[in-house]
Amino acid sequence: MARYKVGLIGGDGIGPEVIGETIKVIAATGVKLDTVVYDLGADRYLRTGEVLPDDTLIEIKALDAVLLGAVGPPIGSTQVPSGILERGLLLKLRFELDLYVNMRPFVTPKGWNRFNIDPIDMVVIRENTEGSYAGEGGLLRKGTKQEVATQGSVNTRFGVERVIRYAFELASSRPRKHLSLVHKTNVLTYAGDLWQRTFNEVAKEYPDIETAYSHVDAACIHMVESPSRYDVIVTDNLFGDILTDLCGAVSGGIGLAASANLNPDRTGPSLFEPVHGAAHDIVGTGIANPMAAIRSGALMLEFLGETQAAGRINAALEAYEIPEGIKTSAIGDAIAERV
Ligand code: IPM
Ligand code: MN
């Protein structure tokens, strides 16, 4: 049986707690992982000043996959400047490993109806290496009355086309065969033009896929009023970030939302992480829900080709209703047992 070399970056806040439960559940499937624990995140930074040392990055590039909990200091922390960990660790990994697809599936659990809306079954494909996340811009005359801040958005034909192609392929594999582009082409007329033209051109190669377009603000309305109109969505990095938090909230809660940062060309490892953040306010309380991380673990197994094991985890998650007041580790135990 194959063994996989998987890097574990628990990270900050509840990250290590939810990754611990994920490993427990994967072990129950019988899939063998050789895990390498990486001490990265706020604590490491405060202790040593290091965010992602070069030799660690080289090591990570040789792994089969990475599981990540959450990265980021407590909100309002003055010890870790904003963005140091997000840009220096999380985004650096996405860029260096060329994880250009951020795949975020959302499926409303049976019986869950907190907002009284249609059940959701969709996948958001978020471009993950460009847009406003590329870091274009800077500060001029910082701290003076004439200071200027610019923050650009990088959109390349190459980057846009490859993620759109991935989305068409995914839509082809799903029964509904429907793909929506989400952007803001009425205002972001340069980037929007590139996205829309590329989308239209690639669409010609997929005549059996029905396509649609939503402005991102309208997509927010649809997401709470008529989310069933969506099957697969493809969108840019920042819109995808914002929209998927909303999708998570309306499709079962952010405690269930999983994500796969994929390098579909498999020139290196892909990285799997829950959509939620470090939630420093609940660290150690045992109330963190590990289901998003566990679901991300299933996405990892699926990408590694362990389809059966992934299916067992997904089935266990689907059948599981969280009992009132249950603790993080008891949820992990219950799901591992069902697997
Ligand atoms: C996410 C997170 C990250 C992002 C942050 C932590 C940099 O919000 O994965 O959605 O903005 O992409
Ligand atoms: Mn986010």
Q: Indicate the top mutation candidate among 106, 125, 130, 241 to test ligand 1's pocket, ranked by most ligand atoms within 8 A of CB.
A: 241
* Residue-level pLDDT at 127: 98
Report which of 155, 219, 221 is spatially closest to residue 184, judged by C-alpha positions. 219
- Strand-pairing partners, residue 139, are 149
DSSP per-residue string spanning 222-276: HHHH-GGG-SEEEE-HHHHHHHHHHHHHHTT-GGG-EEEEE-TT-SS-EEEEESS
* Residue-level pLDDT at 77: 85
Q: Which residues of the chain have pLDDT under 50?
A: none
Cα 272–Cα 279–Cα 226 angle in degrees, nearest 5: 70
Q: Which domains does the chain possess? A: 1-99+258-339 (3.40.718.10), 113-251 (3.40.718.10)
Give 3-state DSSP helix, strand, coil % of the chain, rounded to 5. 45, 20, 35
* Residue-level pLDDT at 321: 87
Q: Rounded CA gap, 100 and 125, in Å?
A: 10
- Strand-pairing partners, residue 67, are 8, 272
Residue 100 tokens read as 């250009």
36 CA to centre of ligand 2 in angstroms: 26
* Residue-level pLDDT at 206: 98
Atom of ligand 1 nearest to the CA of 241: 10
75 CA to centre of ligand 2 in angstroms: 14
Atom of ligand 1 nearest to the CA of 259: 9
Residue type, 292: A
Residue type, 74: P
For 224, other C-beta atoms within 10 Å of its C-beta total: 13
For residue 96, give the 3-state DSSP assignment: helix
Q: Which residues contact 135 (CB under 8 A, 6 or more apart)?
A: 87, 91
* Residue-level pLDDT at 73: 87
* Residue-level pLDDT at 2: 87
Minimal-distance CA residue to ligand 1 atom 12: 241
* Residue-level pLDDT at 138: 97
